[in-house]
């Protein structure tokens, strides 16, 4: 594992906010992952595994943590069974599967990696399809030990997994099984879903949906819009005009701007319970969840 110091990590996220990591490394092998966990323990700092950074916002300044990125992105296909490493870009997995007549098209348009998608059980809204529909097991490094979790043990729920409760966990690979459909039909669905995304969601300098849907399934954007906060702005962070659950970095936004806007939304919409984005403070800990 090649360890580097003071590497900018805000620029590695889609929202482009945040400073540098005290330590940074890219992980190619399982041995690298073991070394990273050991190093973080020795230094007594959090280990933050960054996937595509599509759901992550870092504090400005120095993040006192070891931030790692998994570069392992092999995909093995055997019939309808697929093994994908955590660094695989979700969009490329969807396309590779389509070429093998395997259908993961429901997750089209979700940026980031397989690791990030497992961690937050990425997918459609509360009543739609999530990644866990296809997962049979996940292999992860927990407290220095490799463990393969059955799907039940992963405790997947809407935007949740058991992994969120495991400090310093490194998700390494997953076994999946997909339904089979003709490639042309899957590709037509992929195109249709990409088109719909571009029509309904912003794609520049955002971390995707900020808040989870509330308990009865009402999407957060509806409540934010009802509270009159569509287009609301503090500093460089604006609630998107196109989709009121997306925050945009419109002008050199800071972490404080993100916290101020999320605070304002939470005050105006008390039904909102959970934040979907992962906000990491300078101490490397999650600021809100």
Ligand X SMILES: Cc1cc2nc3c(=O)[nH]c(=O)nc-3n(C[C@H](O)[C@H](O)[C@H](O)COP(=O)(O)OP(=O)(O)OC[C@H]3O[C@@H](n4cnc5c(N)ncnc54)[C@H](O)[C@@H]3O)c2cc1C
| 8 Å CB contact between 47 and 238 | no
Kindly state whether residue 46 participates in binding ligand X, applying the rule CB under 6 A.
no
**Helix residue spans in 66-133 (DSSP H):** 90-99, 114-119
Binding span for ligand X by CB under 6 A among 3-11, 49-57, 95-103, 266-274 = 49-57
Q: Identify which range of 46-54, 173-181, 215-223, 265-273 contacts ligand X by CB under 6 A.
A: 46-54
* Residue 284 interacts with ligand X (CB under 6 A): yes or no: no
Helix or strand run (H / E) with residue 75 = strand 75-78
φ/ψ of 92, rounded to 5, equals -75, -30
The question of whether 267 is a catalytic residue gets the answer no
Size of the site for ligand X (CB under 6 A): 33
Q: Which residues contact 54 (CB under 8 A, 6 or more apart)?
A: 13, 14, 110, 111, 112, 116, 207, 208
Is residue 209 annotated as part of the catalytic site, yes or no?
yes
Query: Is 20 known to be catalytic?
Result: no
Residue 254 binds ligand X (CB under 6 A): no
Give the integer Cα–Cα distance in Å for 289 and 276: 7
Residue 54 found at the interface with ligand X (CB under 6 A): yes
Burial of residue 152, with CB atoms counted within 10 A of its CB: 0-12 exposed, 13-18 middle, 19 or more buried: exposed
Q: Which of 69, 209, 240, 282 is catalytic?
A: 209
Residue 22 makes contact with ligand X by CB under 6 A? no
- CA pair distance 284, 203, nearest whole angstrom: 26
Verify binding: residue 119, ligand X, rule CB under 6 A. yes
DSSP state of 270: T
Footprint (CB under 6 A) of ligand X, residues 86-105: 86
Binding part of the chain for ligand X, among 1-9, 108-116, 177-185, 226-234 by CB under 6 A, reads 108-116
What part of residues 152-191 is at the interface with ligand X (CB under 6 A)?
169-171
Residue ranges that bind ligand X, judged by CB under 6 A: 14, 48-56, 70, 86, 110-113, 115-117, 119-120, 122-123, 169-171, 201, 203, 206-209, 278
Query: Catalytic amino acids?
Result: 159, 209, 276
């Amino acid at each position: 594992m090649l360890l580097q110091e003071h590497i900018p990590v805000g620029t590695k996220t889609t929202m482009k906010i945040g400073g540098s990591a005290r330590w940074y490394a890219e992980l190619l092998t399982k041995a690298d992952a073991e070394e990273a966990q050991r190093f973080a323990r020795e230094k007594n700092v959090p280990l933050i595994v960054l996937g595509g950074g599509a759901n992550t916002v870092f504090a400005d300044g120095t993040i006192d943590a070891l931030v790692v990125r998994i570069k392992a992105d092999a995909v093995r296909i055997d019939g309808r069974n697929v093994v994908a490493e955590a660094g695989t870009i979700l969009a490329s997995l969807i396309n590779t599967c389509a070429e093998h007549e395997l259908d993961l098209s429901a997750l089209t348009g979700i940026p980031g990696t397989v690791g990030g998608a497992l961690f937050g059980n990425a997918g459609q809204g509360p009543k739609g399809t999530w990644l866990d529909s296809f997962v049979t097991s996940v292999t992860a490094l927990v407290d220095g030990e490799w463990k393969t979790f059955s799907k039940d043990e992963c405790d997947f729920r809407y935007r949740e997994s058991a992994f969120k409760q495991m400090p310093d966990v490194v998700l390494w690979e997953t076994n999946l099984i997909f339904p089979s459909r003709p490639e042309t039909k899957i590709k037509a669905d992929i195109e249709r879903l990409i088109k719909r995304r571009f029509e309904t969601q912003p794609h520049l300098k955002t971390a995707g949906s900020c808040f989870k849907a509330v308990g009865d399934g009402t999407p957060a954007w509806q409540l934010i819009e009802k509270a009159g906060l569509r287009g609301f702005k503090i500093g460089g962070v604006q609630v998107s005009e196109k989709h009121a659950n997306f925050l945009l970095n419109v002008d050199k936004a800071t972490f404080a701007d993100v916290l101020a806007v999320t605070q304002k939304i939470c005050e105006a919409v008390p039904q909102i319970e959970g934040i979907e984005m992962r906000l990491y403070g300078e101490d490397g800990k999650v600021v809100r969840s």
